[in-house]
Structure 1
């Protein structure tokens, strides 16, 4: 399964739209299990799924919905706060051209990474390159429905969220079964990841992405799974240092890229410090447990996933982690609120840009 804190948000501003569009501002979300809202449930051979109770117990009808959480994701919460519709999972059978234009699309896939090679032992998952290819297919559908000019305006007004990276470390580089673990050292792997992500963000810009939010990583070395596997029973410091290095490198890259690409409003959101403080001082935020999952197999650790025979904690609002990898909705709300406060998100800020340059459509590589 994949880890949890990775990615946490960030960006907005307004590009410009050359053609006015009588359509809602929607989101297109690219990510991993922290943002997946059901895509992996439709991957018949995929091993990373949240399709059994007690996932989703605090969302809607309480049944599993594909979110690796008891409730909402960080992206859900931020979008709700901004008054934006929740994007439909790309593989959801109900997805049509109309729902795309009304709600946007979520391409996130549990186990997916920035790199194509990440998470291969999950058998099926969408890497970021694959998610961008799926987005290109979405654009073709909308162009066929409303024409080039109106579709260009629609895509340039949309908000884009990119939230991946933790799997590239925990389910790739830090596992000796992957060649990346011996091909690179810590510094060169972070550089490789950052350069790959830069290429991918440039591709998205070429496809019309003007308002782009990139999530940074949290303290990956402090998730329950890493604590259980630690020889000291504490956070894995090397893993946390890699997250910090990634955040520094990607923050600079995103800011530089946003200033270089035409009409680009790219922003990087970093919630590492607040998440780290939440884990270190849970009582400060109203939590009483930050080192074990709410949904577990009792004393059998690691539990890896939450299943119907798992035991639930008495009060889910007091636990930082839902399973061995992912935060609870309560923790996600704290993280989302921190990002909203830092970035000043609101729907009004998305509606004030009047113009934009035509988009080109490069093909994803890799």
Structure 2
């Protein structure tokens, strides 16, 4: 398995941000978040016909007010926790804002459950905001920003913002790994990976042309070990072939980012490899304070979607489970993953400051 490292460039542009957060002066820090259900905070609630939604009673059970918010978790997403660590409020969902809302100047979350790099990914969810859609909405945001504060001020804000991008899981789970969809039948994995890479290159370049500079792409975790994939094994084991494809995807994207950092002269793109942390947490749950990593806290029916519906049984000891439903990690697991991300950041930047303690149940 590949070793996990966050390139030096991440430390270069993130170290001052961490310092600001520590000094409680991070009010000017702006983050824009693109992704799927792993980072969504409620956009799909505004899509009337979307089947990719989490507005069911048990979602948000460990979130303030214990109500569903559109997050595919019992509590917070990884992006929520990263925002907390940066000392800022988690950006609101784009579709919750008015067209001329001042909130866009403080950051926006465009993530949408079911979204993928490819526009055909997740098509059976009827409505979702693909990565292309999210970039379209971001372009609208840049126009609003320029109208509010002027061209130069908006450009400065966009160049200084941090862009978190977590895309690609659905291109496998809700596309290539579905035998009834065209992509799985007409392409080998190598061909499919090439198509993903070419499309992603265009999307990251478009973000750059719209003003994004400091972009962090979160690599895929071990998808072969999520409950929905384990259910395909007669012995409930991780699917090694799926995990191998994930490793190949991560490697391909990392190489793409290296190329784009040369091609796009002022770009500061970083690949954050989360795979090794994810597989370690699943294979050694006790090391992180968990007891169960091979099934989900919410007892879901994987043959009909795998989401935690209102009639499902939910475990009482949610902090002991790595997975919340058939696809998504629990709030407690998200804390560990976000903590590991920042631990490496601090180590790379030679900071003596420690990140928050690991979840211990």
Which TM-score bucket, shorter chain as reference?
0.7 to 0.9
- C-alpha distance in 1 between matches for 2:129 and 2:180: 20
Residues 205-354 of structure 1 mapped to structure 2, 5 A cutoff: 205-297=208-300, 304-344=306-346
After TM superposition, the score normalised by the length of structure 2 is 0.87
Between the aligned partners of 2:146 and 2:316, the Cα distance in structure 1 is: 50
Aligned residue in 1 for 2:32: 28
User: Which of 172, 177, 191 lines up with 1:169 in the alignment?
Assistant: 172
Structure 1 residue 38 corresponds to structure 2 residue 42: yes
* Structure 2 residues not aligned, in runs of 5+: 1-5, 15-25, 352-361
Superposed displacement of residue 73, structure 1: 0.9
User: Greater helix share, 1 or 2?
Assistant: 2
1:57 Cα deviation from its structure 2 partner: 1.0
- CA drift at 1:344: 3.1
Task: Tell me the alpha carbon deviations over residues 194-253 of structure 1, each in whole angstroms, 9 at most, x when there is no partner.
Answer: 121111111101111111010000110110111112234211111111100001110111
Name the residue aligned to 1:198.
Answer: 201
Q: How many residues align?
A: 331
Listed as ranges, the gaps of 5+ residues in structure 1 are 1-8, 16-21, 350-366
Q: Provide the secondary structure at the position in 2 that maps to 1:267.
A: strand
Q: Are 1:138 and 2:141 matched, yes or no?
A: yes
- Distance in 2 between the 1:96 and 1:64 partners? 26
> What secondary structure sits across from 1:124 in the alignment?
coil
Partner of 2:17: none
Quote how far apart the aligned CAs of 1:155 are. 0.9
Establish whether residue 69 from structure 1 lines up as the match of residue 70 from structure 2: no
**How far apart are residue 331 of structure 1 and its match?**
0.5
- In 2, the alpha carbon distance for the partners of 1:131 and 1:295 equals 30
Point out which structure has higher relative CO (alpha carbons under 8 A, 6+ apart).
1
Q: Secondary structure at the match of 1:28?
A: strand
Is the CA contact 2:27–2:88 (under 8 Å) kept in the aligned structure 1? no
TM-score by length of 1: 0.85
Residue 88 of structure 2 is aligned to residue 84 of structure 1: yes
Look up the match of 1:128.
Answer: 131
Residue 83 of structure 1 and its aligned partner are, at CA, apart by 1.4
**Any conservation in 2 of the 1:55–1:306 contact (CA below 8 Å)?**
yes
How far has the Cα of 1:138 moved from its partner?
Answer: 0.9
User: What is the SS of the residue equivalent to 2:51?
Assistant: coil
Alignment check: 8 A CA contact 1:12 1:211 kept: no
SS for the counterpart of 1:292 is: strand
- Alpha-carbon RMSD: 2.3
Q: Deviations over 1:287-308 (max 9, x none)?
A: 11011111125xx555711123
Take 1:284 and 1:94, find their aligned partners in 2: how far apart are those partners?
Answer: 45
Contact 2:297/2:325 (<8 A) preserved: yes
Quick one: which of 92, 95, 109 aligns to 2:112? 109
**Cα deviations across residues 235-282 of structure 1 (Å, max 9, x unaligned)?**
111111110000111011112212331221110001111211111121
